[in-house]
Amino acid sequence: MISERSGRATVQLRRLSDGTVSPLPQLGRHQPHSSPSLSWNARYLAVITQRGGRRLAVVADRLNGRMHPLPLPGGRAPIRLSLAPDAQQLALQVTDQGQWRVELLDLSSMLEPDRPPGQALSTPAVGADP
């Protein structure tokens, strides 16, 4: 959810069962936030932040604390985003010189897949049928 914090829109991850808020230290300096989107297990959080006067799409990896900025060439500005459940793609609505469009970014070379709950990443045993 997005909430007001010190006069700025700030993303918060709040557990619905008990209201516990999970810390997001890697996003603390880059506010305001908008358009949050989570992967299956909430390992990855994609959000639009602001750095200086420029809007920037980022993906925060909550498992290892890394933040992956997604710079857009040519002066395009992110408006909204949607992260695929496995975090392998990101749909991004951008504006470019007054034109609006949706771009699909492949994140598979940057992020490990976030599998659905109960589905582990496995490799078949040698000689086993796939």
Indicate whether 127 belongs to any domain. no
Question: Chain centroid to CA 51: how far?
Answer: 16
Indicate whether 130 belongs to any domain. no
Q: Is 110 exposed, middle or buried (0-12, 13-18, 19+ CB in 10 A)?
A: middle
Question: What pTM was estimated for this model as a whole?
Answer: 0.83
Indicate whether 120 belongs to any domain. no
| Helix (H) and strand (E) counts in the chain | 0, 11
pLDDT at res. 127: 47
pLDDT at res. 96: 86
pLDDT at res. 94: 95
* AA identity, residue 1: M
CA angle 25, 29, 31 (to 5 degrees): 110
- Structural domain total, the chain: 1
Q: For residue range 60-83, what is the model confidence (pLDDT) as tens digits?
A: 999 999 999 997 878 789 999 999
Indicate whether 89 belongs to any domain. yes
CATH number at residue 40: 2.120.10.30
pLDDT at res. 52: 82
Q: CA-CA distance, 1 to 56, in Å (whole number)?
A: 18
Indicate whether 83 belongs to any domain. yes
Length of the chain: 130
Mean residue pLDDT across the chain: 86
Indicate whether 113 belongs to any domain. no
Indicate whether 117 belongs to any domain. no
Identify the domain containing residue 6 by its residue range: 2-106
pLDDT at res. 130: 45
Q: Which residues of the chain have pLDDT under 70?
A: 119-130
pLDDT at res. 128: 47
For 5, phi then psi, to 5°, come to -145, 115
Indicate whether 125 belongs to any domain. no
